[in-house]
Chain A
Amino acid sequence: MPTDSTGITVSGLKFEYPNESFAIRVDSLVVMPGEAVAIVGPSGCGKSTLLRVMAGLLSPHAGRVQMGAHDVHSLSARALREFRLRSVGLVFQDFALLDYLTVEENVLLPVRLGGFDSESSVARAHELIGQLGIAVHTRRLTREISQGERQRVAIARALAHQPRFVFADEPTASLDAVRRDIVGSLLLDYARRESAPLILVTHDPALQQRFDRVVDFTELSA
């Protein structure tokens, strides 16, 4: 269970890819504990990059990302990895599943490799698998299931270790309306129940409506 779950504060953030003209800038963004924020904007504007910088996967050239008590980018590489492994839930745009593992093995991958798996984490993984409607595929390889099902496996993997912060990049892009609602509800319920800030990049207007706040990326970096 998260013990010091607080919000996320981004201030004076600047990031640009080496040798590219592309750059992002965020003066200020605050996400409260349990708050669900949807980031919207045109394709290619830098939403996913912002998400990766906030999650500690990319280092900014300037500015701070405060997650709970941690100034993420001032942590050592080792401490940052440990922080991500234990406290951050990531849903990647391309799912990033290991196709030679089963659904269950993919969901439990971070906790097992991190060495903090337990009966409760296994039970929680199975609960998530059930809630996401993929229990029937528990022991099937992820390469044998549909895109939508793979996306739900990615979401289950992101939440299985009960992260204190959740970042999701287009998590409902491959889902039909019914599944989109289920996944949306699951993420929102999690954020509220665990008081975990949820930051989600999406183009889906229906999903945006259910979020506490919708932030237009172009205004954020203006």
Chain B
Amino acid sequence: MSPSAALQLAARYVMRHRMQSLLLSLALGAALALPAAVRVFAKTVEREMRARAAATPQVLGARGSALDLMLTALYYRRQPVEPVLMRQIDEVRATGFADAIPLHVRHHAQEAPIVGTELEYFSFRRLVAASGRLFTRLGDCVVGAHVARERGIKPGDFIFSSPEQVFDIAGIYPLKMRVSGVLAESFSPDDAAVFVDVKTAWLIEGRAHGHDDLAQADAGANVLKREAGNVVGNAAVRMFNEVTEANIGSFHFHGDVAGYPVTAAIVLPHDAKSEAILAGRYQDAKAAAQLIRPRDELDTVLSTLFRIEGAVVAGLALLACAAAAISFIVFTLSFKMRAREFATLGDIGIPPRTLAAIKAFEVALIGIAGVIVAAATVLLVLKLGPALVLRALR
């Protein structure tokens, strides 16, 4: 018997029936890869989500779903979260136990969430400008690396906030924002966001505005009436939808900023004791706000997720077994259909062990190809998994 000749003959059969062999290998490979790929993907999701949650000690938000609050504050998901007031954030700061960074996550520029915050957010998340600089005045924005790449945005360009209601003419008008900088890629949801100062977020929301100065002597055409030091403008008064060096002085806020809403605040306790004390203060179910630990909330979510994942992997493992059984049947039928061929080889005098070797080599070649397909799929998931996860989290 010549094993190399048997291998050569098996290889010839596989190669000359390449479509069937390829399909069988792909089916085997996919069935083998699926459980592993799902597991790898789930682990990647867990790692990425845990990393951001672990880096965020506490989040302050309105009472309600802690999960929604976490998803909004950490991943900028559009969840139905009630706002808290700036006053409540100031109260946290006033305790002396922690710093607090406000987050205003309500508006968006096309699909990218507009995150209103303060400059401390960038140092907290270790975000730096890859080009340009961080925002320095009202109306500026800094875009995440992914947004900049997708839309070809660079410092000096402009982007518009999207209206909340296209058909609501009394609603919020888009604000033309100047891009002051582009952030370096951080492989986090920050890459897909547009950052503005929290005051700019309020400007988009309509809590501040800028318009023609009616106190000017030549503003007569825009004045409807003047009474007791109060000037009422008419419909000709121009409202500014862009903050410029020339008109920035005309922008002003109405009411007390302490009563303005934000979505949440990232709370950064000075130490573990401060963290515990703060957590205790918000335990009261009657309190207007809640203080959550994102990692605890994530543990709850992931424990449910991984119970489901376990069932999915078990199901896929069964599928792999079924695929292996089907492959066995396919090979058995194939060898049965080729009985005449093997009988001829036997008639010529080829020993049964050589015939068995030919069959074994054919199965092995297809099996090896299937394992290669499976390995390539898993490697692909390992390579692309984080990007897919980030895209899903954006």
Contact = CB atoms under 8 A, between A and B. Distances in A.
| A joins B in a complex | yes
A113 to B, nearest CB: 5
Given A100-B13, A101-B12, A115 B341 contact: no
B123 interface: no
Interface of B: 1-2, 5-6, 8-9, 12-13, 16-17, 340-341, 344-351, 354
A211 interface: no
A37 to B, nearest CB: 21
Interface string A130-174: 000000000001000000000000000000000000000000000
Contacts, number: 62
Given A96-B344, A141-B16, A112 B350 contact: no
A113 B347 contact: no
B340 A114 contact: no
Given A100-B17, A141-B16, A113 B341 contact: no
Contact of A113 (B6, B16, B17): B6
Interface stretch (A15-23, A85-93, A182-190): A85-93
A92 B340 CA distance: 12
A92 B349 contact: no
Nearest to A141: B16
Nearest to A101: B12
B12 A115 contact: no
Interface stretch (A27-35, A61-69, A75-83): A75-83
Interface of A: 57, 78, 81-86, 88, 90, 92, 96, 98, 100-101, 105, 109-110, 112-115, 117, 141
A112 B349 contact: no
A114 to B, nearest CB: 7
Contact of B340 (A57, A78, A84, A96): A96
Nearest to B352: A81
B341 A81 contact: no
Contacts of A83: 349
A141 B345 CA distance: 18
Given A100-B16, A100-B17, A115-B1, 16 more contacts: A81-B350, A84-B348, A85-B348, A85-B349, A96-B340, A101-B9, A105-B12, A109-B9, A110-B349, A112-B5, A113-B5, A114-B1, A114-B2, A114-B349, A115-B5, A117-B2
A110 B344 contact: no
B77 to A, nearest CB: 56
Contact of B344 (A84, A92, A117): A92
B28 to A, nearest CB: 21
Contacts of A114: 1-2, 349-350
B347 A100 contact: no
B334 to A, nearest CB: 12
Nearest to A95: B344
B2 A115 contact: yes
22 contacts: A57-B347, A81-B349, A82-B349, A83-B349, A84-B349, A85-B350, A90-B348, A101-B16, A105-B12, A109-B345, A109-B348, A110-B348, A112-B2, A112-B5, A112-B8, A113-B1, A113-B5, A113-B6, A113-B345, A114-B349, A114-B350, A117-B5
